[in-house]
Amino acid sequence: MRMKNLETNFSPTQRPRRNRKSEVIRSLVQETRLDITDFIFPLFVIEGSNKKIEVASMPGIYKFSSDLLLEEIASCVKIGLKSFVVFPNISDNLKTPFATESLNFDGLYLKTLIDIKKNFPDVCLMTDVALDPYSSDGHDGLVQNGKILNDETIEILCQMAIAQAKAGADIIGPSDMMDGRVGQIRKALDQNGFTETSIMSYTAKYASAFYGPFRDALDSAPKHGDKKTYQMNPANRKEALWEAELDFKEGADFLMVKPALAYLDIISDLSKSFPIPIAAYNVSGEYAMIKAAAQKGWLDGEKTMLESLLSIKRAGADIILSYFAKEVAELMHKVK
Ligand code: PBG
């Protein structure tokens, strides 16, 4: 094509492209940045010692016995990643309808929390409050005649929260979606002297198919039915504001949206409407999708990871829980 054919008298007055003309200028006008201090890294703990098992549907993510979990935390802390949420993989023979193992101070979970805090007093340790990892029904609440009991479940959740606070948790994370649990957990913590223990409520937790790999990892899928009577309908947006209003009034310190990528509108709504920090959980299935496509050579894994994490932050999340957290920390550490 000859240039002569491309002559024009047109010249727009506004040229947004001027702000994209060099790497330095693009960086000057960049609105959102990922910062490793905004990340919480989910970790899976299993029984035994010297064990490290890769989660089949989450390449690069491992279940660790608590000794190796401590080493994993040490390697994260070294590269600036200092916040963790821990989930236990409980043996089937310890699972009961009342999830009693969750309160056992000689059991896997509480012992591991105590160990982590003893070795790393300065890390931020978040816990999970829900019955499913310990429940023979595989549900987040108590089951009676196929129904999930709300108020009775909360009694157990409160005991779990107190036990985890005793074990040294900095942030309690109720992931169960029972009505009224944030207020009751706040009250239970306060009455037991844990006024400094925070609550990050899984506020808008949707009944999502993106939790599949997590349930594989913990073998925690419901034995019957699904979680639709407590987790939210993916079709609903206004309802998230209702849930958020309740959690905020009941004393949550952070509100979480989960999953993240298919729910950026919800993250945005909550961040505009509430004055407390908003967290987003970039869940197992979101991790698995990018990893699988990258393994096939269909997507650039690193770039799609960074772009999707950035979108979560851009939507309004202050905090991101992500299985990518360590990979991001490694990348940022290398760049420095
Ligand atoms: C259970 C819980 C789930 C996740 C965190 N806590 C799964 C579920 O509700 O079935 C999912 C996390 C993920 O998929 O990464 N209380």
pLDDT in tens, 251-271: 999 999 999 999 999 999 999
Task: Please report the atom of ligand 1 found closest to the CA of residue 130.
Answer: 16
Residue pair 131/142 in contact by the 8 Å Cβ criterion: yes
Two tokens at 58? 């989450």
Residue pair 111/135 in contact by the 8 Å Cβ criterion: no
Beta bridge partners of 46: 65
Q: Is 287 in the pocket of ligand 1 (CB under 6 A)?
A: no
Confidence of residue 2 (pLDDT cuts 50, 70, 90): low
Q: Is 284 in the pocket of ligand 1 (CB under 6 A)?
A: yes
- pLDDT tens-digit series, residues 112-168: 999 999 999 999 999 999 999 999 999 999 999 999 999 999 999 999 999 999 999
Per DSSP (E only), the strands in the chain are: 39-46, 52-54, 62-65, 83-88, 124-129, 142-144, 147-149, 171-174, 198-205, 254-258, 278-282, 319-322
Active site residues: 205, 258
- Ligand 1: centre distance to CA 209 (Å): 10
For residue 17, how many other CB atoms are within 10 A of its CB? 8
The whole-model pTM stands at 0.96
What are the angstrom distances between the C-alpha of 57 and each of 47, 61, 248? Answer: 20, 9, 35
Q: For every residue of 265-285, which 3-state class applies, written as one string?
A: HHHHHHHHHCCCCEEEEECHH
- 1 pLDDT higher than 60: no
Q: Where are the domains of the chain?
A: 33-335
Q: Is 283 in the pocket of ligand 1 (CB under 6 A)?
A: yes
pLDDT of amino acid 218 = 85
- pLDDT tens-digit series, residues 106-118: 999 999 999 999 9
By percentage, how much of the chain surpasses pLDDT 90? 94
Q: Is 286 in the pocket of ligand 1 (CB under 6 A)?
A: no
CATH code for the domain defined by 33-335: 3.20.20.70
Q: Which one of 283, 289, 290, 323 would you pick to mutate in the ligand 1 pocket, going by the greatest count of ligand atoms within 8 A of its CB?
A: 283
Beta bridge partners of 42: 85
Q: Is 101 in the pocket of ligand 1 (CB under 6 A)?
A: no
Q: Which one of 43, 63, 132, 223 would you pick to mutate in the ligand 1 pocket, going by the greatest count of ligand atoms within 8 A of its CB?
A: 132
